[in-house]
Structure 1
Amino acid sequence: MRNFEERLKGGHPNSLGNTVEIVEEVLAQNDLFDELFNCYFSDDEVVRLRTSNAMKRVCKKQKVLLIPYLDRFLTEISTIDQASTQWTLAQLFGMLEKEMTDAQIEKAKEIMKANLANHTDWIVLNQSMDTLAKWAKKDLDLKEWLLPHLNRLTSDHRKSVSTKAQKMMEKLR
């Protein structure tokens, strides 16, 4: 036990804290991944934010570590009501698509569609649009569902959201 949860606490909420150091430990000693994953269940939202950042970093270097946890990301982590968790899921789903089963992809679509339809956080919206638009290129049902939502978001008052929605619509045409 490396006490990751305690080491991810404190400091400015937008800083990485010890995230990079912990990622390096997990990459060097893969059996530590479970301890890092379980930091998602911390009561501390900063710990959960940094855990999400760590997951993206681990996925980029050794995505094989996340594959056995895909079902838990889809069923447990997806229920965490925190924007950073939701936007990270959209990113992870995009990175792990080739490793996911059809059923896992369908569940991931449900999660991201719900986020796109209901979430207000601009990063959640942008990351969900990214992955859903990528997947919609080869999924006509998803494309049909997505286009009206993208159209709605082109009128969003936040420039990053409206611009992203416009770009995604253009890519799907």
Structure 2
Amino acid sequence: MKNFETRLKGGHPNSLGNTIVVVEEVLNEPTHFDELFNCYFSEDEIVRLRVSNAMKRICKEKPSCLIPYIDRFITEISLIDQASTKWTIAQLFEYLDTDLSPQQYASAKSIIKRNLEIESDWIVLINSMQTLAKWSKKDEELAQWLMPHLERLSKDSRKSVSKQALKFAQHNSG
């Protein structure tokens, strides 16, 4: 056991801590992925934040590590009430979209749509818009659902959110 949870604790909440070292260990020895994944269930929100960061990094380098866990991201991780988990879910589903079964795609789409509707964190909103906008290019029903939400978010008081919503709305209507 690598004690990933202990090693991901502490330090400034916005720092990576030991995340990069843990990612390298998992990439070099993928059998340790399960231990890292289970750190999502830590009581420590900093650990969960760093696990999310690690998942994104691992997914970019070795998506095959995450593919067997897609259902668990859908059924378990999506229920974690933490912004970093929600924005990471949107990113991971976008990265893994060609690996999603039709049922997994439908579930992932539902999760991200819900997050776009009810969440207020700007990073969750931007990542959710990005994934849904990409998917809506091949999913007309999603494109129709998404436009009113992009219009709503284009009026958001946060420039980062409103600018992205306008950008995605222009790309989707064009």
Pairwise TM-score range, normalised by the shorter structure: over 0.9
Shift of 1:33: 0.1
Partner letter of residue 142 of structure 2? L
Residue in 1 that maps onto 2:11: 11
Residue in 2 that maps onto 1:94: 94
Residue in 2 that maps onto 1:64: 64
Q: Distance in 2 between matches of 1:159 and 1:121?
A: 13
Q: Distance in 1 between matches of 2:139 and 2:57?
A: 28
Shift of 1:93: 0.4
1:168 is paired with a residue whose SS is helix
Q: Distance in 2 between matches of 1:100 and 1:138?
A: 15
Residue in 2 that maps onto 1:84: 84
Shift of 1:60: 0.5
Q: Distance in 2 between matches of 1:172 and 1:165?
A: 10
Partner letter of residue 85 of structure 1? T
Residue in 2 that maps onto 1:157: 157
Residue in 2 that maps onto 1:42: 42
Quick check: 1:23 aligned with 2:23? yes
Quick check: 1:53 aligned with 2:46? no
Matches within 5 A, 1:134-153: 134-153=134-153
Partner letter of residue 24 of structure 1? E
Q: Distance in 1 between matches of 2:171 and 2:135?
A: 12
Partner letter of residue 133 of structure 1? A
Shift of 1:12: 0.1
Q: Distance in 2 between matches of 1:130 and 1:52?
A: 18
Q: Distance in 2 between matches of 1:124 and 1:12?
A: 21
Shift of 1:67: 0.2
Residue-by-residue CA offset, 1:5-31 (whole Å, 9 max, x unaligned)? 000000000000000000000001110
Q: What is the root-mean-square deviation of aligned Cα atoms in Å? A: 0.3
Residue in 2 that maps onto 1:126: 126
Shift of 1:37: 0.1
TM-score by structure 2 length? 0.99
TM-score by structure 1 length? 1.00
Residue-by-residue CA offset, 1:140-166 (whole Å, 9 max, x unaligned)? 100010000000000000000000000
Percent sequence identity over aligned pairs: 62
Q: Distance in 2 between matches of 1:147 and 1:94?
A: 19
Partner letter of residue 125 of structure 2? L
Residue in 2 that maps onto 1:111: 111
